[in-house]
Amino acid sequence: MPSKIWRLDPLEAYERPYEYAVQDQFQREATKLLPELYPLLNNKNNEYRVDDQSASKACWLLAMEALDCLRESLAALEQKRHRVFSALLRTTHEVLDLATYFHAQGETENGAKQLKKWYRDEFIEHKVYRNWIEVRDGPTARKRETDKYRSLSRFTHRSYRTLLHGYSVGVGDRLVHDATAELYGESAGSRTMLVLPHTMALYFSALAQSILRFVTDVGDLALATPEALNRAMQDSLEPESEPWRFTTPQEIYERHLESLESQLEAEDDPATTVDE
275 within some domain:
no
How many domains does the structure of the chain reveal? 1
266 within some domain:
no
Where does the pLDDT of residue 271 fall: very low under 50, low under 70, confident under 90, or very high at 90 and above? low
Please tell me the distance from the alpha carbon of residue 226 to that of residue 264, in angstroms, as a whole number. Answer: 52
Q: Which residues, 6+ apart, have CB-to-CB distance to 94 below 8 Å? A: 126, 152
35 within some domain:
yes
106 within some domain:
yes
pLDDT of 272 reads: 58
Please tell me the distance from the alpha carbon of residue 170 to that of residue 166, in angstroms, as a whole number. Answer: 13
pLDDT of 156 reads: 86
Which residue type, as a one-letter code, is found at position 62? L
69 within some domain:
yes
> What 3-state class would DSSP assign to 76?
helix
In DSSP terms, 168 is beta-bridged to: 176
- Model confidence over 95-145: pLDDT tens digits? 999 999 999 998 899 999 999 999 999 999 999 999 999 999 999 999 999
80 within some domain:
yes
Domain containing 183 equals: 4-245
Where does the pLDDT of residue 60 fall: very low under 50, low under 70, confident under 90, or very high at 90 and above? very high
- Rounded to the nearest 5°, which phi and psi values hold at 52? -70, 130
Full-model pTM: 0.89
| 270 has a pLDDT exceeding 70 | no
Q: In the predicted model, what is the mean pLDDT of the chain?
A: 92
| 166 has a pLDDT exceeding 80 | yes
Give whole-number Cα distances, 43 to 40, 145, 232, in Å.
7, 32, 15
Q: Which is higher by pLDDT, 261 or 91?
A: 91
270 within some domain:
no
257 within some domain:
no
